Amino acid sequence: MIRRLFPMLLLLFACGAEEEGTTEALEPSPLPVTAAVAVTDTLSEVIEVSGRISSARSQEFVAQVQGVVSQAPEAAGTEVSRGETLFRIASGEAGAEMSAAMAEYRRTQAVYEFETSHYQGELTGDVSGMLRATTGLDDAEARLARARTGYGNASVTAGFAGLLATVDVREGMTVYAGTPLGSLVDPSSLRAEVDLDERQLPRCVQGSPAFVTIPSLGDTVIAGIVESVSPVVDPSLRAGRVTISLPPVAGLRPGATARLEIVTQVHPDMVVIPEEAILVRDGRDMVFVIRGGKAQWTYITRGPAGRGLAAVAEGVAPGDSVITSGHYSLAHDAPVAATGQ
């Protein structure tokens, strides 16, 4: 009898061990995912576009006379003050014209003073004007003014305090009227510029906020204001210029690349989640909501989106944790271990 029961007991123990092993195999380890909490917040719709940083104030220096450069800054990047002489051009022609014009003016002025002092009768304004014309004083004054302008153009000064952006000439170089000498920018009055597509241009409004990301400064984000929106469209580009005023930022330089987010509409009190949480399954928007340590497949009705966030009208409530990464191959009710909440 005992010999008959012993094999049966061994069989029962073996079956129990097999069943226990099967049960353990059906309990998978939680999958690592990243999650974010849905919140009630203001959502901003934006136009995303690339642009450039420029200076709101710049000055191009161009030679007005022919001559030899006798003074020039050593290099770009030099800080200069308003009214500072930056370039000088030694022009013998301008000096000679100035001397001749001054001599002519003094001669005609002496003749005019002689005529007025010996004029018989009342010296009215009309008479004085007639004497200025007949003595050549008017012409001499005009010639002297032109000569002074030409002589003054031999010295080029800064119109405002700023930094030299370029220096195109060196001392000893011969230049002619129209030769570029250099340029000046004001680093304290920077702005972002972009030529916006004609279909997007009507959505931009002067005074709207904008967010400017600067890759060269480690993706620093600067809050700005739309300063101007072009009232016309360039037919060759099919675009119009939009400028965004910016506060002073250390290290920001004209010419730097910028990523712009121009706010076109603001929606307050929306339930918002990261856009990366939203998937499309069976042609419908859905998210995985974490409940009880498991990923729950949940269809949603989404609203407007902007700046990496999306509004959810139905399907998600404030405080819900939605999976933002590691969810592309998830199944409904899959156990998950979330970080980033």
User: Quick one: pLDDT at residue 9?
Assistant: 44
Domain 31-42+268-339 has CATH 2.40.420.20: yes
Structure tokens at 22: 């099967």
| DSSP H helices in the chain | 2-25, 92-117, 125-135, 137-152
Identify the sign of the CA torsion 153, 157, 160, 163. Answer: positive
The vertex-312 CA angle with 310 and 318, nearest 5°, equals 105
Instruction: Just give the CATH number of 47-56+187-267.
Output: 2.40.30.170
Residue with tokens 């014309």: 133
Lowest mean pLDDT among 71-80, 147-156, 235-244: 147-156
pLDDT digits (tens, 9 = 90+) for 123-151: 888 888 888 888 888 888 888 777 666 66
pLDDT value at residue 191: 94
Give the angle 211-216-219 at the CA atoms, nearest 5°.
Answer: 45
Chain segment 182-236, per-residue pLDDT in tens: 999 998 889 999 999 999 999 999 999 999 999 999 999 999 999 999 999 999 9
Query: Are domains 31-42+268-339 and 61-89+156-186 of this chain identical in fold?
Result: no
pLDDT digits (tens, 9 = 90+) for 224-237: 999 999 999 999 99
| Strands lying side by side in the sheet with 174-175 | 155-157, 85-90, 67-71, 174-175
What are the percentages of helix, strand and coil residues in the chain, rounded to 5? 25, 45, 30
Domain boundaries, the chain: 31-42+268-339, 47-56+187-267, 61-89+156-186, 92-153
pLDDT for 14 beyond 70: no
- DSSP string over 49-60: EEEEEEESSEEE
**Measuring CA to CA, how many Å separate 62 from each of 72, 76, 91, 181, 184?**
13, 16, 15, 5, 12
% residues pLDDT > 70 (the chain)? 88
One of 3.30.450.90, 3.20.20.60, 3.90.230.10, 2.40.50.100 is the CATH number of 61-89+156-186, namely 2.40.50.100
